[in-house]
Amino acid sequence: MEIRPYRIDVAPSVLDDLNRRLDATRWPAQLEDAGWDYGANLDYIRALCAYWRNGYDWRAHEAAINAHPQFLCEVDGVDIHFIHVRGKGSNPFPLVLIHGWPGSIVEFLDLIGPLTDPAAYGADPANSFDLVIPALPGFGFGGKPRDRGWGITRIAAAFDTLMSEALGYQRYGVQGGDWGGITAAKMGSAHAGHVAAIHLNFVIAQPPPGDLTAEEQAHAAKAAAFQAQETGYSNVQGTRPDSLTLAQSDSPAGLAAWIIEKFRVWSDCDGDVEKAFTRDALLTNLMFYWAPNSAASAARIYYEARNDATSFRYPKVEVPTGVAAFPKEPWNAPRRWAEQRYNIQHWTEMPAGGHFAAMERPKLLLDDIRAFFKTIR
């Protein structure tokens, strides 16, 4: 199983084409008082696209990402793109960090240094990690699946193969949110022979039988309202993704509108997306969809997971599980519900932060990862 060195190198023609398409965007009209009620606010998306065209420097961010060792490895017919940074110290613990949609490996860039070289950041040098940060198949600059069936079961198996066979880690931890959290849970259930523990900032579970507390009833009502109002994207991508992503692959403004709206709604930003993320961070993440033309292959994870009966069905995760519960994470279940599905050994109620925890509150997530895996090493 060959591991090949890799560097991101977007062709100048791709950047020229991006600029041409941004210049030629045909903007629709929007109701004067629409705000974000109808979806993406076009005034904001226009301003972001103007900065994308005239102010954003992809080459600077590309160089920063390329400062980290990156590789490709073909697993189950698909090239997995991953960052692999070995930790400093005598016994770094292997840890996989897995992103979700509409994120990318960009989410974890601020964690690489502190997790692999804690001494350089004023932390205990014995608490270092060997980090592996893979792109989900079809996302970013990795390979695009050419056949059906790349649901969570297959992704979890591919990542375990990458870790245990290609990289030789027979015992490792997994951390994730969104699809990364779902994949981490699946790995902890299906590949417990290798997975020592999982850490989640996205934990889904059904309510237990019997009466719910008043607090749990309020949570259930809030979750139902969110599901009814905010999950149309999931139904589209889970049933007819290619009808949507043809347009997103043709229009950078359309892609930005679809993705940035989620960053705003799912984060702890009080309605102002730039309170949680810089414009450069938002656009660098967008470039992982635009430059490699991966919007379509990434969105299909919803279709494949929906049509994989085993994606969300598995026995209780018995490996030790840590949870960082961020208050504006829309999907997190209460601890009592989660304990039915996971072997919860660590649970932290965070003071702030939302769905994109590694980007929004990297220090909080970092400290929690360190604290939990310190009990696992």
Catalytic center residues: 178, 302, 355
Contact 127, 91 (CB under 8 A): no
Q: Is 168 buried (19+), middle (13-18) or exposed (0-12) by CB count in 10 A?
A: exposed
- Alpha-carbon span 46 to 96, nearest angstrom: 36
Q: How far is CA 37 from CA 40, 102, 259, in A?
A: 8, 20, 15
Nearest CA to 283 among 5, 112, 58, 119? 58
Contact 131, 95 (CB under 8 A): yes
Structure tokens at 313: 């069905």
